[in-house]
Amino acid sequence: MKCSYSFDYEVALPPGHPFPMSKYPLLKAQLLQEGIIAPADLVEPELLDIATLERVHTRDYLNKLGSAGLSAAETRRLGIPWSDALWRRSRLASAGTLLAARAALDEGMAANLAGGTHHAFADHGEGFCVLNDVAVAVTQLRAEGAIAKAAIVDLDVHQGNGTAAIFESDADVYTFSMHGERNYPSVKMRSNLDVPLRDGTGDDEYLGKLEQHLPGVIERSQADLVLYVAGVDVAAGDRYGRLALTEEGIRKRDRLVIETVRRHGVPLAIVLAGGYAPTRARTAELHAHVFREAQAHERNPADSRSGAF
């Protein structure tokens, strides 16, 4: 499975900053060590040009990002300090999602070892999200005629508010979000389908709701491509999560998404999104599960194990 990755996905942050930036190289190293991916599977993204980004983001916002022009209030809302390296990283991560989406269209399934920055709106960033990589990929592929319709399956614990807002009036992009009802953001946007979850929701309830809703999402969307925002902040003990999925629950969730989408014959691109486990290594380990499940499916796509749910 092709996976986008750049050394520049990791940038320096102030000491004590809560965003686990080192999870990206840790995840890459773990996937290589386990043989889930080979070095030849890694694809290096190149910086996206501004014209591509302008398909989603306003010129004023991009100008601010390119010239250290964010105000103090905008920086606080973003939650991460601006730097040239962050601006570069954000463009590379968006390029990585576009590369993964292209590879998925060619090969059935692919991933970006970053991405899922779903709190970025057209005209501002928030919640550690600078650019909305998923929206950029979908919009660019549609502009090229590579796809006509897309579905975004967002299972990060936080609603993909930026993505929902960007595509709210777009009938050809179906947004589906399962998220903590009382979690960030305090004001939710409107996805095509929102499934709010109570604090403390565990494996059985979570997987039951996902199994109930996901097939209909794929069928209603008539998607040519699905992008899976595979946040692992649903895990029990996550710093910002409030849900209670076990490690096995996360694996079953990822398996269910992969099997359902591929059973419908739709290409699938996977992006990481959030995860705030007690250690960076633990966060990377949780992110690795979706790649393990993808590898298992690729080896034996006819072996549907979703009955185990």
Q: What is the mean pLDDT of residues 230-256?
A: 97
* 304 has a pLDDT exceeding 50: no
Helices (H), the chain: 23-34, 50-53, 59-66, 72-78, 84-107, 133-144, 161-166, 203-221, 247-263, 280-299
77 CB contacts (<8 Å, ≥6 apart)? 124, 125, 126
What mean pLDDT is predicted for residues 191-208?
98
Task: State how far the Cα of 191 lies from the Cα of 308, in Å rounded to an integer.
Answer: 29
pLDDT of residue 306: 41
What is the Cα 192 distance to its own chain's centre? 17
Give the pLDDT of residue 302. Answer: 63
CA distance 276 to 301: 31
Predicted local confidence at residue 301, as pLDDT = 74
Q: Is 119 among the catalytic positions? A: yes
- Residue of 188, 197, 1, 202 whose CA lies nearest to 99: 1
Q: Where are the domains of the chain?
A: 3-9+37-298
Q: Do 100 and 267 meet the contact criterion of CB atoms below 8 Å apart?
A: no
Marked catalytic residue, from 118, 119, 158, 179: 119
Res. 303 pLDDT band, cuts 50 70 90: low
**Cα dihedral 308, 288, 129, 237 sign:** positive
3 state SS of 145: coil
Residue 309 pLDDT > 90: no
What are 104-151's pLDDT values in tens digits? 999 999 999 999 999 999 999 999 999 999 999 999 999 999 999 999
Q: Give me the pLDDT at residue 299, please.
A: 86
- pLDDT, residue 308, reads 38
pLDDT digits (tens, 9 = 90+) for 32-65: 999 999 999 999 999 999 999 999 999 999 999 9
- Give, as one character, the DSSP assignment of residue 290: H
- Percent with pLDDT over 70 in the chain: 97
Confidence of residue 298 (pLDDT cuts 50, 70, 90): confident
Spatial contact of 173 and 225, defined as CB atoms under 8 Å apart: no
- CATH class belonging to 3-9+37-298: alpha beta
Cβ atoms of residues 254 and 230 within 8 Å: yes
> Average pLDDT of the chain?
96
| Whether the Cβ atoms of residue 197 and residue 206 lie closer than 8 Å to each other | yes
- Which helix (DSSP H) or strand (DSSP E) does residue 133 occupy? helix 133-144
CA 103, CA 143: separation in Å to the nearest integer?
17
Average pLDDT over residues 297-302: 81
Residue 92: the pLDDT is: 98
Residue 280 or residue 306, greater confidence? 280
In this predicted structure, the answer to whether residue 292 has a pLDDT above a threshold of 60 is yes
pLDDT of residue 307: 39
List the one residue out of 104, 125, 115, 41 whose CA is nearest residue 287: 115
pLDDT of 177 higher than 80: yes
